[in-house]
A and B are shown apart, each in its own frame.
Chain A
C-alpha cells in the first residue's frame, strides 16, 4: 500500500510541525508513505470564494501529484473534503476519480483503513476537541449534534486511547469556529466573535489544549488566543497522537 502524503499549502508554509507529526505518525504505524514534490493547494479558497472555475489548474496539479498512490492522506478535513466534493469541475478521468475516492483525512485513514485506535501515544493534559465542520458534516468523521444518528467520533476514538489525556466535554460540541476561509476576512466581525465564543467554551470547561483535525480552524483560534493572551494552546491532533513521554 503506497500512501501519498498531502500537506495543505498553509500547513507546509506556516505549520511545518503539523506536517512532520503527520509524516512521523504514519511512519510509526508502518505505512509506506511518500511526499510528492510540487504540491500547491487543493483550490478550496478559490472555490469557496466563488472562483471555482479558476481553480482547475490547482486541481490538475493535485491529481498529477497523487494519481499513482493507493491512498492520499492529509492532516486537514477541510482540504480533503474539497478534493472529494468539489473536484467535479475537471474532467472525471479514471485518475481523477481514483484520487477523489482514495483521499482520506488522517484520523479517518488511521481508524477506517489501518483499523487502529490505540496508537501508543501519551499526552497528560486536559484536551478539548474542536470538530471542524468540513470534517464532521462533510466527511462524517463523527455524528453531528443536529442529526438523530447513533453517536460516534473518529477523533474521540483516537484521543480516548491516548495515555493520560483527559478529553473535556464542551457546552456546544460541534459549533463552527468562524474561520470559513476567506469568510475570516470578508466577514471579519462575525468570524472573530464566533472564534471568541468557541474559545470561551473551552476555557469554561477547563481545557488546556484545543485540538482538532483541521489546522485552519486552529490557526484562527490560535490567532485570537495569542492576541488576547489566553491560557490555552492549540495543537493539531497529529501532534498529540505522535507524542509520547
Chain B
C-alpha cells in the first residue's frame, strides 16, 4: 500500500489525527524554546554538519582508528556487512555465553535488522526496556517514531494493553500508575538478564569509546547488571574526537525532545572486570548510500526525530503510514536507497515545504533530496498510466505557447460551462473536499490585450 493510501486510512479518525498532530507539535515547540536558549544554535548546526561531512569523507580511516582504540580498551569488535550478519554475530555471542535472556535498550539499528524476531526464533527471550519500545513490543507493532516509539498510542490504549499483558488494574490511563507498573515488571527482567544490547549514539574514534543517550537509564541498568554488553552501531555513528560530543549532545537532546541534555548520556569505554563488551559495526546499505553523491548527506543523521515532529504530513499521517523502519522525512530519503520499489511513494509524501531541513541539527537538505529521489523514481519505477500521461502531455503543451493558449481557453470554457456532475466526480481528487476556482470571463492575456496597448 502506498503512503497516500495508508494516510487516507489514518485520516478516517480525525480526532485521533488532531491528537497526534498536537502531541508532536508540542514536542516541536519544546524544541524551538530549547534552541532559542542557545545563542550559537545555528553555528552549532554548521559545526555538526561539517564534522559529519568530514567523517563521511574519511570514514574508512576513522572506523579503523575507532576499532584500534576500542580493542586497546578490551572491547571486542565485530564487522557486519548486512542485517543477516549482524544478527548472526549477536546470535553467536549469545550462544557462546549460553545466554537465554536479553534486555535491549533503544536501537533503531536492531529494528532495521529485525533482531527481535531472529532471537525469538532461537528461543531467546528479548525484552525492550525503553518504555515506549516496550509498549510497541507487547502490542506486536513496530515503532511509529524513532524517539517516541509509541506516540501513536493514547494512554487509554496503553492502559488496556497493560491490563492484558501485565495484569494491571484499569486506571483510566493514569500515566504515573502505568509507568510504575512497567518499571516493576522491567526491574525483574533487568535482574535476570544474561546479556544487554544497546544502540550507539556516538562512537568516538580517538578514544574507542561510545556514548548511549537515554532518558530512562535503561541502557545503564541493563549493561551494568548483565555480564555481557553488546552495542550495535551503524558505520556512520563515528565522530572523530571526544571534544565533539559537546556539539552533538547539545544539539541532540534539544532537537529530539527540547531537553537541555538527555537524562543519561552514558559513556562506555571498556568492560568492567570479569565482563565482556562487544561492538557490532554494521554497514547494511550505508556504503551504497555513501556512494550516491546526491544522497550522501542523509548519513549525517543523528536520529533525533525533529524532522518527524515538524513534518505536517508525518503529524497527520502517523509513522506507520511510511511502512519503513525509519519513518518521516529522513526515512523517506533513506528508505528508497534500500528498496526503491517498496518505498517509491515516500519521496512524494511531502509538499517540499522544507521545514525538515530547517530543524535538522546536522543540516541534511532533506527536502532537496526528496525532490531528487522523485526524479529517479519516475524513471526507474513503473508509474500509474494516468499520472504519467497527464504530466507528459502537460510537458509538451507547456513547451508550446500557442497550444498552451488554446488548452487554457478550453479548460476555462469547460470549467465555466460544464454541469457540476461532470466536473465533480470521483476522477477529480481536487473536488472531493474542495471547490475549483470560479472562472472569470477572460484570462489575463485577453485582459492585457484589451487594456494595455504597448
Contacts and interface: CB of A to CB of B under 8 A. Distances in A.
A43 B444 contact: no
B396 A57 contact: yes
A48 B408 CA distance: 21
Contact of B317 (A34, A134, A190): A190
A19 interface: yes
A194 B353 CA distance: 12
B177 to A, nearest CB: 33
A192 B434 contact: yes
Given A34-B454, A38-B401, A187-B313, A138 B354 contact: yes
Given A41-B398, A193-B316, A52 B375 contact: yes
Interface stretch (A9-17, A96-104, A109-117): A9-17
Give chain B's interface residue range (CB within 8 Å of chain A). Answer: 35 or more
Contact of B434 (A41, A138, A147, A224): A224
A31 interface: no
Given A14-B439, A220-B434, A223-B437, A193 B11 contact: yes
Interface in B11-38: 11, 14, 17, 21, 25, 32, 35-36, 38
Nearest to B347: A50
B451 to A, nearest CB: 8
Given A147-B358, A187-B349, A192-B434, A57 B399 contact: yes
B179 to A, nearest CB: 30
A129 B447 CA distance: 28
Q: Which of B312, B351, B359 has the most CB of A within 10 A?
A: B351
Interface string B416-437: 0000000000000110111111
Nearest to A86: B371
A193 B17 contact: yes
A162 interface: no
B395 A12 contact: no
A146 B357 CA distance: 9
Contacts of A13: 408, 411-412, 443
Nearest to A219: B437
A23 to B, nearest CB: 8
B355 interface: yes
A58 B403 CA distance: 12
A68 B242 CA distance: 56
Contacts of A178: 312, 351
Nearest to B38: A148
Contacts of A45: 391, 394
A145 to B, nearest CB: 7
B350 A58 contact: no
A180 B430 contact: no
B408 A9 contact: yes
A16 B359 contact: no
B374 A48 contact: yes
Interface string B305-328: 000001011001100000000000
A149 interface: yes
A158 interface: no
B398 A43 contact: yes
B41 to A, nearest CB: 4
Contacts of B392: 51, 54
A147 B439 contact: no
B426 to A, nearest CB: 11
A152 interface: no
Contacts of B437: 14-15, 219, 222-223
B377 A50 contact: yes
Interface stretch (B2-10, B131-139, B152-160, B256-264): B2-10
A148 B361 CA distance: 12
Nearest to B39: A148
Contacts, number: 210
A227 B435 contact: yes
Interface string A14-52: 111101100100000000001101111101011111111
Interface in A122-181: 133-134, 137-138, 144-149, 172, 175-176, 178-181
Contacts of B374: 48-50
B440 A17 contact: yes
Contacts of B436: 223
B398 A187 contact: no
B398 A180 contact: no
Given A180-B350, A187-B313, 12 more contacts: A16-B440, A35-B448, A37-B445, A60-B399, A137-B358, A175-B312, A175-B355, A187-B348, A189-B8, A192-B432, A223-B436, A226-B434
Interface of B: 3-4, 7-8, 11, 14, 17, 21, 25, 32, 35-36, 38, 41-42, 310, 312-313, 316-317, 348-355, 357-359, 371, 374-379, 383, 387, 391-392, 394-402, 404, 408, 411-412, 429-430, 432-437, 439-440, 442-445, 447-448, 452, 454
26 contacts: A12-B443, A14-B437, A19-B448, A20-B444, A35-B448, A37-B445, A48-B374, A50-B377, A57-B395, A57-B396, A145-B32, A146-B358, A148-B36, A182-B391, A184-B430, A186-B429, A188-B8, A189-B4, A189-B11, A190-B316, A191-B351, A193-B11, A194-B316, A224-B435, A227-B433, A227-B435
Interface of A: 7, 9, 11-17, 19-20, 23, 34-35, 37-41, 43, 45-58, 60-61, 133-134, 137-138, 144-149, 172, 175-176, 178-195, 197, 219-220, 222-224, 226-227
